[in-house]
Structure 1
């Protein structure tokens, strides 16, 4: 019984780790101080659930802070390759970011 519980906890932690951007980082931006910069939707794609079957995907966006590039999936199919967007990020930890006004 104890091994099953440990395995379940490990699986749950792994799932949270894989989805940390949506589950942890993005909500933090609502309470942490943020800065805004412009970004660009790039050609890199993120397949959506069942995307390999129906071809659904969304693009990544990229922006730079202090000469370092950061990118994340847009999580929204409305953005197209080449679109210029406004990106909200934490000044101390720029890897914590999202498209401005996106929840």
Structure 2
């Protein structure tokens, strides 16, 4: 459903990596994590996991989101 909505009425926006850690599967052992990204639509903040451990706080990335439901969003990939 998420991908369908983004494909149907998606819009691109710049997001910033923020200080919110998302630990991977066995994180108590490995302590591997990725930071979340944040973007603003209509004065409301939305956050999601970047799923990229190479990104650092303050980095910017391009994401796409559903104009109808901005909480449905994903990192824009170069495919």
Report the TM-score range of the alignment, normalised by the length of the smaller protein.
0.7 to 0.9
1:57 aligns with 2:33: yes
Q: 1:91 aligns with which of 44, 67, 72?
A: 67
Gaps of 5+ in 2: none
Partner Cα separation in structure 2 for residue 28 and residue 40 of structure 1: 24
TM-score scaled by length of structure 1: 0.69
Q: Secondary structure at the match of 1:31?
A: helix
The runs of at least 4 aligned residues of structure 1 exceeding 3 Å deviation read: none
Structure with the bigger percentage of helix: 1
Structure with the bigger percentage of strand: 2
Larger Rg: 1
Matched length? 79
Partner Cα separation in structure 1 for residue 11 and residue 56 of structure 2: 24
Give the CA RMSD over aligned residues. 1.9
Q: Report the CA distance between 1:40 and its aligned residue.
A: 0.3
1:67 aligns with 2:53: no
Q: Secondary structure at the match of 1:72?
A: strand
